[in-house]
Amino acid sequence: MKSLVPLLCLRSILCCFAAGSPTGVGPEGRLQDELHKSKDVQAAAKPSVRFNLRTSKDPEHEGCYLSLGHDQLLEDCGFNRTAKTFFIIHGWTMSGMLENWLQKLVSALQMRENDANVVVVDWLPLAHQLYTDAVNNTRVVGHRIATLLNWLQGKDDFSLGNVHLIGYSLGAHVAGYAGNFVKGTVGRITGLDPAGPMFEGVDIHKRLSPDDADFVDVLHTYTRSFGLSIGIQMPVGHIDIYPNGGDFQPGCGLNDILGSIAYGTITEVVKCEHERAVHLFVDSLVNQDKPSFAFQCTDSNRFKKGICLSCRKNRCNSIGYNAKKMRNKRNSKMYLKTRAGMPFRVYHYQMKIHIFSYKSMGEIEPTLYVSLYGTNADSQTLPLDIVEQIDLNATNTFLVYTEEDLGDLLKIKLTWEETSQSWYNLWKELRSYLSQSYNPSRELNIRRIRVKSGETQQKLTFCAEDPENTSISPGQELWFHKCRDGWRMKNETSPTVELP
């Protein structure tokens, strides 16, 4: 029966998430007058939100609790008014305890910014409730943070521009409320997979939005276009980054989930992908020499095709702590691939391949792979994922990525693997035969491959090793060697298809 506990817990989560929208939100705007009038809200908030300044790098050290109006505490706790100040805001909790990721984030910030103030916003009494109640408490907690910030602004040398609010899940929307209620403008808010249920599609004053800080960056790691989406799908910042499309994260697959259920742990089942946003942010702090880059794209499918690997006009950016400030009139959606663990960085390549055939072949879905050979290392065999279909006598674009830095690319091996004869494949061949386009030889011609590195923006052209043999069939391979730095010359024409 132990293994059923997580499933029952998950079912309760679904019920909570489906319960409806937050109540008692009131009119738009800062709403401070309304909050001051609410004695019940203030009575509930005072004992339920604490600000723990982490003064030691020892995780066992309790830290020092700040208290509104107690100036001497700032001195006693060693609060540095001229330094950066980070507020870490947790989300909804089922256990009523601070989670393991929080100390990892605290330690990473302390290591990266030695003189900074790192404050943990502990709102466990208001977060350890039914999800719907916790949602309604986010506004109260946001107001408490804003009140503390307003008090700190009265101190010499303290600047709101040095404040960085980092909120996970529900904590991201708490940060949004804090930025909305404070007098002035917070320097930065980072939303780590902001909660989706009861926030998706609501008014900007009832969730995290670009108006809440001078710079709002967001990592989305657990969104779903179908079924339960724990993280919010819609863009809610100046830049919204969707690692691996924002849904299925490497290392959080079915095998991991099944294993977690078998051992009765709900953490990996529900939080693996949701919490990945936190670990990506931690990675950006501790692996500064291996930054991950995201690329602007209109949607995930176009990115999977390899179309969006440009850095022109701020179309790429580092993720996490290293993200560069961008204030666009509209939200900027960005995408990247990652590894399953730290360091998460991978190396993206756009491959443009002009595929042509001497004969009409009807519909074709070749199983193509490439192997990249560089000055530093060689890649594994990488699939050329066909997002829609192969276009014959046209240029097809693919995205591939490697976990290792290959250095300068020297050559490419293209392989067409045999596929098993499934009923679906047999039906396609029969349909091609009936339409008089059946070609049992199945032969494609490829003369060159153009490659662009996302990380370096370098462009290279690779030509067939044997110019007289550019055809490939199932079970065969073609070799391409670097023949040019850059792509097509201005006066170069596209290759023509010569019919026999």
Provide the annotated active-site residues: 169, 193, 274
Exposure class string for 123-155: b at 16+ Cβ within 10 A, else e: bbebbebebbbbbbbbbbbbbbbbbbbbbbeee
Establish whether 207 is an annotated binding residue: yes
**Burial class of residue 328 (count of CB atoms within 10 Å of its CB; 0-12, 13-18, 19+):** exposed
Q: What are phi and psi of 120, to 5 degrees?
A: -95, 120
Determine the straight-line distance between the first and last CA of the chain, rounded to whole angstroms.
Answer: 70
Residues in CB range of 163: below 8 A, 6 or more apart:
84, 85, 87, 149, 186, 187, 188
At residue 154, what is the residue type? Answer: G
Name the token pair of 178.
């804090």
How many residues appear in the chain? 500
Let me know how many helices (H) and strands (E) the chain has, helices first. Answer: 12, 21
What is the distance of C-alpha 412 from the center of its chain? 30
Q: How many other CB atoms sit within 10 Å of the CB of residue 394? A: 11
Q: How many other CB atoms sit within 10 Å of the CB of residue 303? A: 25
- DSSP summary character for residue 250: T
What is the crossing angle of helices 131-152 and 170-181, to 10°?
40
- Which of 205, 216, 214, 213 shows the shortest CA–CA distance to 31? 205
Report d(CA 317, CA 217) in Å as an integer.
11
Name the CA radius of gyration of the chain, rounded: 27
Residue positions forming the annotated binding site for Ca(2+): 207, 212
Residue positions forming the annotated binding site: 207, 212
